[in-house]
Structure 1
Amino acid sequence: MQWTSMIAIYGLFWVLSAFLVLPIGLRTPDQLPGHEVETGHADSAPVNFRPRLVALRATVLAAALSALFYLNWTNGWVTRGDLNFFGDPPVEDLGY
């Protein structure tokens, strides 16, 4: 596998990981004592959003997923044939 392909796969895993870890640890004003909702803000808006922590978590998770993907690529643990849940398509007799 080329290194540029691995960078692209890591980027895809990073974006997926960022969306997966985004809601972890967020708290709304009603979950934290002492916080009040200001005028114009939604009641469900998080009060403790930390983008650096989200990026760090996404980076670690994407690195682990990329490593698993590469190990599967080299060792062949799961192949395309293993994911064929519906069997081979039927062969039509065209009568030629």
Structure 2
Amino acid sequence: MKWTSALAIYLLFWAFSAFFVLPFHGRKAADNDVPLVKGQEPGAPANIRPGRILVQMTIVATVAFLLYYLAYVNGWADPNRLSGRN
């Protein structure tokens, strides 16, 4: 596998990892007894930590990519085998 292909696949894993990480950051302002600002939705997050979310996304994406790469190297995810060309 070329390094550019590996990078592209890793970036896809990183982008999709947001769907796994973000649901765990759902503490609403109403749950924390934080006073709401005028016009604020009660279901909006009380505080957002983008750095923490990005680190968690990176960890999830790295683990998923390593599992994928392990499968690729061992032939479990061979493109020819998966497409039926073998």
Q: How many residues align?
A: 81
Q: Please list every run of 5 or more consecutive structure 1 residues that lacks an aligned counterpart in the other structure.
A: 85-96
Q: Percent identity?
A: 38
1:64: how far off?
0.6
Residue of structure 1 in register with 2:6 after alignment: 6
Cα distance in 2, alignment partners of residues 49 and 26 from structure 1: 10
Q: Please list every run of 5 or more consecutive structure 2 residues that lacks an aligned counterpart in the other structure.
A: none
Cα distance in 1, alignment partners of residues 45 and 64 from structure 2: 28
* Residues 12-91 of structure 1 mapped to structure 2, 5 A cutoff: 12-33=12-33, 35-78=34-77, 79-80=81-82
Give RMSD over aligned pairs: 1.7
Larger Rg, first or second structure (1 or 2): 1
Higher helix proportion, which one? 2
| Residue pair 1:10, 1:63 contacting (<8 A) in 2 also | yes
Q: TM-score, normalised by structure 2?
A: 0.83
